[in-house]
Structure 1
């Protein structure tokens, strides 16, 4: 069990998968059952960092900045201050939050009693509540079948397991079990839908789900895993490598964005979307160009500003591991011992060096400052340009870590 908890707590790709599936379905109040206190805290932090206000709920949680006492957590959930509570065995029974509209199983259980108790947290009736969404990430097929069987008409024994196709659900209920791997290429062939058409269909599905035009990051996070795998393998299909042009092809750009796309600013956005990145080092340097306070793009940044952003970036999560030399596994204590001078040397010799050589049209380095092409100055205070640069840099950082974890799984 300890190994299982560690695996849950360290898997960023799993957290991303949970977030993607959560966003597929509308929910105002959700509860997730986790494997450990650390797992609950990690999930609360991950969801909160990605715009979903959340809290961990477990005993002895006073020192955890992402945790709340049970009464306070319930109050904030009901008031709309939190949207998800991640808990460890505190809501199995005896607590009713009638308005919960989503239950997420994030840990396995061998007990059908606990399984049904947890499921029951979402089955209370409430005014205006039309449905309960159950997201089961545990792969416990027998429990899933049992739950569906218990809802089925005509099943006399509580432990009767019936085929999915034999279920007769009560009015207003439906099931959507992702329990089998589907031959995707055969599916595409049968539907006679090209991959490009599939990408467009997926874009419109996500747009309808989130009720606004998706940014690159939102498109990526909500995209079906099977399609994402295809896109990442076939660069010619990849809409993320020129998202302005992709949106323009769908008629989704406003007039200002069309002007931006056909300008030097558009070329710069494309440059950041496609710049080579075997390591993540360019991203914190590019982040230092983004002035969050004034919502402008800095035309030049000093070594000091790049160093500040660099250290902030690599201090988050386990990003510092990317500073390991080949064949080594840098520990956090070793990372903390790296001097500012050593950090600056790496910044200059790697991301700054490669930006000023491979992307020399836009970057130069003089007097300890990274400098942007002066032709971008007309767009420096353009809010649309600012948002595009910010979104692209954030997206490429997330895509890097996603791809790295995917590679790890295949190794």
Structure 2
């Protein structure tokens, strides 16, 4: 054990059990209570420990298959790095299903045993760190179940101990004794347990135990209990308000499986139409919709009729019609234009087709309702306009999962098959896609990651029709009955689905025909054997398995990721992130977040493929921005402003500020051919507002400008009161800084042949004289233009909206991102000195340090001993620039302390993972130099000569949270 580790462990004990304020310690060494709160789950901590240990032992009484799926992804990567472990579990109360033990047998780098102790009810996780000679332990209330690790309110203590520590020795001895007495998990043991389980489990009340453990995970309502759920109740209220306000149209945007059909029935019940028409594109949908409506509305069967190629029950009170039949002129004219006073269009995103438009133009109902899961289309048709821009309710996939309206999923992104040492790519020939070797690899992975239930009901999406037929043939030949469906008739499709539901086949292999409009609730495994071309299609296909179904606890989504250029779409689609930020995409990919009790999991190779894809794509290209703009314009029915992007989340307004080709939003509107016209001065002022204030990092300037828009002037005292009322810190330094920003003197730094401030109009925006603030006369004149004032105020409102992310009572907010220029401003420095700052700058009372953690992604680093490095979550080793000595002025200044022993200069640490992540750094907080850690070293310079530098160890006042520590360092760990 190194002295460093020993010191950290001792500090952790003192921090956890003596005085947390006096003793600072790294997160991974400190005692900590884990309880699935504040966005940190017990699973997240388990995964972190697994990824950083040399071996592990789990001792848990109860295990469920739903948590084994994400665990398997981690274990598969650990095996590649030679990390092995043990699991000690039990047959106590027959809680563990036989399938659990069958899945445990699949783990090739884990030895599993069954405890012999009566009443084995332990929940503990032990992780060895052999190189550092310590162990970390999580022990408490959490079994290895999804509810316990992701959702339930649990109490688990996490602590760290020397290998020679008393508590560790006691725990290790107890584990060794229990392990020695336990019996190995074998196929023979499993066969015996399966027989006993069938006989004894019902007698011991196992079902009650299991229901207690899993109740939070899934609920399937009995068919007789058809009542509105939370989403439906809110939507029904909004639909009623629309009609009360005289609106004749409404649109409901709701993720697949959230009960849109029942919502329609509930609304028809409250609207009480004389006649009702339901329109869909498939008779199969009509049949199921008719049943759902009758459950809600009641009445005789004769009230419910179908109009299709096979049926002509056109006189029914509640008519369910296919678009293909109804749109025929001879059929349409059999009805009067006012025949129906309520019309509902299912899959309303299809309504741009000529057949739908013909019907919409013909009928004149009292109310038109459209329902869709995916209103975003690529055909430039404005579905929002069609329904009067009246969005009655909107719930997307991620919201529905959080609300437990859908079956949770476990997404597994893993590398596709390698042909001759190379991953399949976009140009892979059919002989590689449908080869016996690939099919064998795919089936191996499908068996390893499994599914919920006793039998697989799978849907496989592939790239080409011929591939679908060849894959189905090969999969069947290997003992897994499969049928390919591409352009077969509706009848054949329905027959094939029936075979899948009955368990007579295991898989349907298709391309795109099942993206939407199909309902197969029993699906428990979705397999993606194709390149992701569209976020919309990705979500449609993933959503096929999310409908709730009796005894289906989760659905396994297995995505085979090759060397595809569109891989970057995967994390964006899964998380619903539409910020157009590569940083966000990388963060989600690295952190692998949970959505409610659904998990997202990528193997290392799959992550690398997505990272590579992100490197080559430009998410904020003008083409992408135009698409988002048009979509929002369609949605609103007018020219969107920045605050609209902020409110509706279609794209983060900061994208406009960060785009180097766009000075401000006005220039984007010009590219969109919108009729705006500003003067050169107005353009420059808007440029300043967009680039400097829109981010909302400090609300002070925004509040002052907003106040001066409403009144001619404000006194210094009133302004201070305004700041305090809005939760902002106030002191002389920040007031002076505000003057420098709004007078533009902060930007008086030469950039080429001009001052930076000239780009912003060159003239102060605010005049501060005799303790009164006023808008400059030139700005007042400019604001007389209503177009400019609208855009100016839009930046103010959007910026103030964004201030909610930042702590306005302090200079910086932990884990928010800042550029060097942002830091200069927020430190209240007089000038923007970001250009020559590089790694750090020692100011009068503050020193910001900027660290790019991975400087050379290729791994071919020069001067390896000159790399800044986290030693743990609380300590980072940092090097000054060269040449520097212990007696250098800036080093002495950093080491200087006042009479109370406190540092004179506050050190603020900012870190980003690599240069690929742009100019922004995560703020990790204040640091102090560890006493006596400063040492002078010699390094080899670029010219081959030795240069002096100073190495220091910095201790963070607040240790880095696991998620951010993982984000910044994980890829460097192994």
Q: Please tell me the TM-score bracket, short chain as reference.
A: 0.3 to 0.5
Q: Which has the higher helix share?
A: 1
* TM superposition score normalised by structure 2: 0.17
Q: If you compute each CA radius of gyration, which structure gives the higher value, 1 or 2?
A: 2
* TM superposition score normalised by structure 1: 0.38
